[in-house]
Amino acid sequence: MADLRRKLPNAITLCRLVLAVAFFATLNAYRYPDTNSVWANIAIALFIIAAITDALDGYLARKWNATTMFGRIMDPFCDKFLILGAFVYLAGPRFVVPQWVEDPESFFTMSTGLYPWMVVLIFAREMLVTGIRGIVEANGISFPAKWSGKMKMIFQSVSIPMILFLVVNFKTSEAVWAMWICHILVYATLLVTLWSGVPYVLGLKQVLGQRSTPAPGLDSEDGTRDEGDAGDEPGGGGES
> Are the beta carbons of 112 and 91 closer than 8 angstroms?
yes
Distance CA 155, CA 190 (A): 10
CA pair distance 233, 16, nearest whole angstrom: 12
Q: What is the pTM of this model?
A: 0.85
Q: Which residues pair with 220 in a beta bridge?
A: 145
CATH number of the domain that residue 173 is part of: 1.20.120.1760
Please check whether residue 219 lies inside any domain of the structure. no
Alpha carbons 231 and 225: distance in angstroms, whole number: 3
Inside any domain, residue 231:
no
130 within some domain: yes
CA dist 53 to 18, 181, 201, Å? 11, 27, 29
Q: Is residue 195 part of a domain?
A: yes
Q: Flag whether 104 is in a domain.
A: yes
Beta bridge partner(s), residue 145 = 220
Q: How far apart are CA 35 and CA 125, in angstroms?
A: 33
Do the domain assignments include residue 232?
A: no
Per-residue pLDDT of the chain (240 residues; tens, 9 = 90+): 667 778 899 999 999 999 999 999 999 999 999 999 999 999 999 999 999 999 998 888 888 888 788 888 899 899 999 999 999 999 999 999 999 999 988 889 999 999 999 999 999 999 998 888 888 777 777 655 467 778 899 999 999 999 999 999 999 999 999 999 999 999 999 999 999 999 888 888 877 777 655 545 555 455 444 444 433 333 444 555
Residue 229 inside a domain? The answer is no
Question: Is residue 66 within 8 Å of residue 226, measured between CB atoms?
Answer: no
* Structural domain harbouring 96: 2-209
Is 94 part of a structural domain of the chain? yes
Residue 130 CA to residue 136 CA, distance in Å, equals: 10
Task: Look at the chain and report how many structural domains it folds into.
Answer: 1
Q: How far is residue 123's CA from residue 162's CA, in Å, rounded to a whole number? A: 21
